């Protein structure tokens, strides 16, 4: 497998995925290069949405497809925003409005624990009965004041206490080494090496 389609149009995700797949000599192209329409994500779990996106992209392109579904899960909010992370504040998608809503929801909450979760699914073809599945979790806590210029999404509000930095204060390589997406991609890369 030397070429695959990534079932996403998120520039931040595409950059991170391409960077981690590079050593495997796998060329990854976004589904937008093939005119693939966005896939509905009606499910309440990351894995179901992810599998739907991978199958959708593969069926439209005839290529193996890699999908990622990820979001932030906040303990005090019973795991919300969860699968709704990208659209937490409604349409159109807006990182700024999502972050505002999250901070407002946490007013008065002492428990600020949160984690990013990522699941990745790779299908070789649309009806692949054995998709490769990998996941990662990145633990931290939510702060009220954003810090850092990097990353995307909730990263400026996601503090890593052991580092004293937010996700947005990390360099790309540093973030990929520890992030939920980096963990999931490394697990997926290991599976690709073992199973082809």
Among residues 33, 68, 69, 95, the one annotated as catalytic is: 69
Residue 128 annotated as catalytic: no
In degrees and rounded to multiples of 5, residue 27 shows phi and psi of -90, 125
In degrees and rounded to multiples of 5, residue 10 shows phi and psi of -75, 115
Query: Cα torsion at 90, 93, 97, 103 (round to 10°)?
Result: 80
Do 8 and 54 touch, CB atoms closer than 8 A?
no
Do 119 and 104 touch, CB atoms closer than 8 A?
no
Do 100 and 145 touch, CB atoms closer than 8 A?
no
- Token pair for residue 172? 């790309």
In degrees and rounded to multiples of 5, residue 166 shows phi and psi of -90, 170
Do 57 and 35 touch, CB atoms closer than 8 A?
no
Active site residues: 69
């Amino acid at each position: 497998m030397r070429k695959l389609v990534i079932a996403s149009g998120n520039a931040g995700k595409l950059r991170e995925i391409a960077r981690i797949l590079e050593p495997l000599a796998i060329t990854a192209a976004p589904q937008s290069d093939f005119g693939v329409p966005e896939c509905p994500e009606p499910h309440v779990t990351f894995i179901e949405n992810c599998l739907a996106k991978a199958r959708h992209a593969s069926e439209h392109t005839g290529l193996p497809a890699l999908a990622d579904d990820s979001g932030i899960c906040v303990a005090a909010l019973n795991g919300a925003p969860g699968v709704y992370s990208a659209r937490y504040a409604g349409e159109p998608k807006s990182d700024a409005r999502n972050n505002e809503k999250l901070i407002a929801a946490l007013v008065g909450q002492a428990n600020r624990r949160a984690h990013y979760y990522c699941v990745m699914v790779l299908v070789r073809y649309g009806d692949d009965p054995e998709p490769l599945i990998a996941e990662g979790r990145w633990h931290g806590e939510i702060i009220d004041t954003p810090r850092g210029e990097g990353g995307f999404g909730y990263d400026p509000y996601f503090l890593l206490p052991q580092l004293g930095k937010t996700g947005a204060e990390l360099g790309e390589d540093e973030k990929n080494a520890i992030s939920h997406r980096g963990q999931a991609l490394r697990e997926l890369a290991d599976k690709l090496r073992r199973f082809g």
